[in-house]
Amino acid sequence: MGNLVDSSPGLTARHLAELIQESFQEIHGDAERVSAIRSPAPALKSLYKKYASWEWRYGKTPEFDIALRKRFAWGEIDLRLKLRNAHIAAAHIYSDAMNSRLIRDIAEIMKDRPYSGEALAAAIKELEIEPGEPIMIEEISDWLLAETP
């Protein structure tokens, strides 16, 4: 994965769009050009407003007692923890990592665990992992050990 400008200096969005259109026409033949909608219908506006809202996309944000954040080479982790009697009552992770399943599993396995770096690191290492994930698990575990009591 990389930036197209790195391999083709001077490339612009307009030029890229033209190249894509030419490629499409070579494969599929001429096609009718569709212009953008300048003034959407009222029904479309209300749907856009609903589905673009923060509440629809993310839901209600619960209050958290602990917030930890770290940028790794593979993505950022923003960990939010709600504690009850020194145990994790709720865990939520916001992340731009490509492996959303692993991120979701990490948040799930933290629930009901003691709030300690050792307990959290051990819990994460219990997860069933796939190729490429051991590095992520190790880095997150090390981070939790360093950042939590």
Tell me which DSSP letter residue 98 carries: S
Helix (H) or strand (E) holding 29: none
Three-state DSSP at 55 gives helix
Report the distance separating Cα 97 and Cα 73, nearest Å: 9
Per-residue model confidence as pLDDT tens digits over 73-93 = 999 999 999 999 999 999 999
pTM of the model: 0.59
Q: Which domains does the chain have, with CATH numbers?
A: 58-147 (3.30.390.50)
Query: For 43-83, how does the pLDDT look when each residue is reduced to its tens digit (9 = 90+)?
Result: 777 777 777 776 767 666 667 899 999 999 999 999 999 99
Distances from the Cα of 62 to the Cαs of 24, 65, 92, in angstroms? 46, 10, 9
Q: Which range among 30-44, 80-94, 119-133 shows the weakest confidence by mean pLDDT? A: 30-44
Give percent helix, percent strand, percent coil of the chain, each to the nearest 5: 50, 20, 35
Tokens coding 70: 């770290």
